[in-house]
Structure 1
Amino acid sequence: MSLTLSAEESSVLLRDYRLTIEPAVDATYSLYAKNLLDNAQALDYLQKIAHFFQSPSILVTASLFAKRYSVLTMASAFYAMSRYDKGLHCRIENLWVEAEYTKPWLPTIRLIDRTVSIPTKDREKWRDEILREIFANNLAKVWQSLAKISKIPKAILWENTAIYVNWLYETKLGEGASVQEKARIQEDYHYIVNLAPGSIFGERKNPLTDYCGPKVTIMESEQPVRLRKTCCFYYHTSDEANDYCISCPKIKR
């Protein structure tokens, strides 16, 4: 028997976690995710969406697109895994990026196969399978492709990813959670950023660990923040000179 999300579960993911079940009405900016692994098609897509970011180069576009793609791939999958104990199928062959012409540009993700898995006796093994689909069988492949066509260092792409892993698990996923769900969220988060082996990510070692350290206090923020180790190049899209993110390593502190 195929398992699916309940109507209530789907409603949360559709409303708050960038999941969709419908193709975009205007498919101009939509993309079958696997096409990102083809150099020519990936380059064409980055060139097509560059104006949404006011990006001056393929390198900058690759970085800013990677931020959106990572959160699209992870957000609903992590919520389903850590809140519902259900696994979405997020391998790259199962995903469409759906996007309309809007500003700000906020694409959604559509799954071809919308069935879900559930843990049996070994939740840790089940969790590894979900994470491997998200990372090794999706994000790692896309990052490799983007690095090849734009010359962007993969370290930047993985730090972009880590920022959203931190945000999701520290801020979003716990909203309205029960005590049991909060414990599961914390356990999953600790495993993903500290204990998961490199093979889960399609890398020799866990590429997130270096970007998930403690927060620090800085003058630019009332709340503690994690300082980035790499620059995401967002400042290249601003009209103001040296308009860096508050955590940017280019800021002299």
Structure 2
Amino acid sequence: MKTQSRLEVGELEYVIKNFYFSIEQSPHSTSSIRIVDLLDGEKCASYLDELTMVLQSPSRMITASQFAKRYAFLTLAPGLYAMTMYNKGLDLSIESSLLESSATFKKSWSARLCAPDLQVNEPAAGKRDEWRDEMIRNLFAGHLAKLWRSISEAADIPMAILWENTAVRLYSLYEKRMGEGSDLQENKRIQEDFKYLISTAPGILFGETDNPMARYYYPACTISSAVQPVRMRKTCCFYYKVSPDEGYCSNCPKVKHL
């Protein structure tokens, strides 16, 4: 289903520059944690409590939601972008991933995903569909689903919030970051991969009974507070609880849009 490959220099540079990704550990990060360690309940709770102080968040649950939004982007962006745009798979297994971050006690927190032993592969001839399933399963069922369950238990946060935080990042990646490909083949992969992820991919690839990316996808609507149509959320991510101006997201379900 797959063969060994590598990212070209330009491809790697793009992923590093645009998606806060690295294949080398930074000597400047103030914190580094193996993602697999967050599957331990006590370590997960301790990490979220430390981040709660940094973000000046009112609770571990709200911190968990903000963390999930950021971490979903850090994993999905390089993994899915490479899969669709480069037709290459990045090994972002939970065991080999590190989260490096820098923080101050002024609601300032930046983080990046580091894969120091990155392995790259590509689909064998005529086997892209099977290869794509393997890439999706590794990224979601083998990584995010395990982490979300640990965080859900440690922070007493519903899985629905964590999965919608994830889905929002995925939609944005395909609708805004990828946009139009440079050729017909790229455009075809963008459309086919996105459609598969949000409609027909089975729940087992995500470590769930049903496909959580399909659960929150529906047409965007026009609202008075936004210039462009937005896809309203079903769950609240609680960003307004840590926002400097206590503002709500434009697609927040807690706000009544006329």
Query: In the aligned structure 1, how far is the partner of 2:196 from the partner of 2:234?
Result: 22
Residue 235 of structure 2 is aligned to residue 233 of structure 1 = no
Residue 144 of structure 2 is aligned to residue 163 of structure 1 = no
8 Å contact from structure 1 (residues 4, 116) kept in 2? yes
Query: In the aligned structure 2, how far is the partner of 1:7 from the partner of 1:240?
Result: 41
Q: How far off is 1:178 after superposition?
A: 2.3
* Aligned residue number for residue 16 of structure 2: 14
Q: Aligned letter for 1:246?
A: S
Q: How far off is 1:58 after superposition?
A: 0.2
Which residues of 2 match residues 138-177 of structure 1 at below 5 A?
A: 138-174=143-179, 177=182
Q: Say which of 193, 201, 211 aligns to 2:206.
A: 201
8 Å contact from structure 1 (residues 18, 75) kept in 2? no
How many pairs are equivalent?
252
Which residues of 2 match residues 23-42 of structure 1 at below 5 A?
A: 23-42=25-44
Which residues of 2 match residues 232-251 of structure 1 at below 5 A?
A: 232-238=237-243, 240=245, 243-251=247-255
8 Å contact from structure 1 (residues 4, 114) kept in 2? no
TM-score, normalized by length of structure 1? 0.94
Residue 114 of structure 2 is aligned to residue 110 of structure 1 = yes
* Aligned residue number for residue 181 of structure 1: 186
Q: How far off is 1:97 after superposition?
A: 0.8
Q: Which runs of 5+ in 1 are unaligned?
A: none
Q: How far off is 1:9 after superposition?
A: 1.0
* Aligned residue number for residue 43 of structure 1: 45
Percent identity between the aligned chains? 44
Query: In the aligned structure 2, how far is the partner of 1:18 from the partner of 1:178?
Result: 26
Q: Which moved more, 1:39-48 or 1:139-148?
A: 39-48
- Structure with the higher strand share, 1 or 2: 2
Query: In the aligned structure 2, how far is the partner of 1:112 from the partner of 1:118?
Result: 19
Query: In the aligned structure 1, how far is the partner of 2:225 from the partner of 2:185?
Result: 36
Query: In the aligned structure 2, how far is the partner of 1:252 from the partner of 1:2?
Result: 51
Q: How far off is 1:35 after superposition?
A: 0.8
TM-score, normalized by length of structure 2? 0.92
Runs of 4+ in 1 over 4 A off after TM superposition: none
Taking a change above 3 Å as real, the CA distance of residues 239 and 171 of structure 1, as seen in their structure-2 partners, is closer
Query: In the aligned structure 1, how far is the partner of 2:46 from the partner of 2:57?
Result: 14
8 Å contact from structure 1 (residues 24, 100) kept in 2? no
Q: Aligned letter for 1:24?
A: S
Q: How far off is 1:105 after superposition?
A: 2.4
SS in 2 for 1:191: helix
8 Å contact from structure 2 (residues 25, 116) kept in 1? no
Q: How far off is 1:197 after superposition?
A: 0.3
Q: Which runs of 5+ in 2 are unaligned?
A: none
8 Å contact from structure 1 (residues 24, 30) kept in 2? no
Query: In the aligned structure 1, how far is the partner of 2:28 from the partner of 2:46?
Result: 18
Query: In the aligned structure 2, how far is the partner of 1:176 from the partner of 1:189?
Result: 13
8 Å contact from structure 2 (residues 103, 110) kept in 1? no
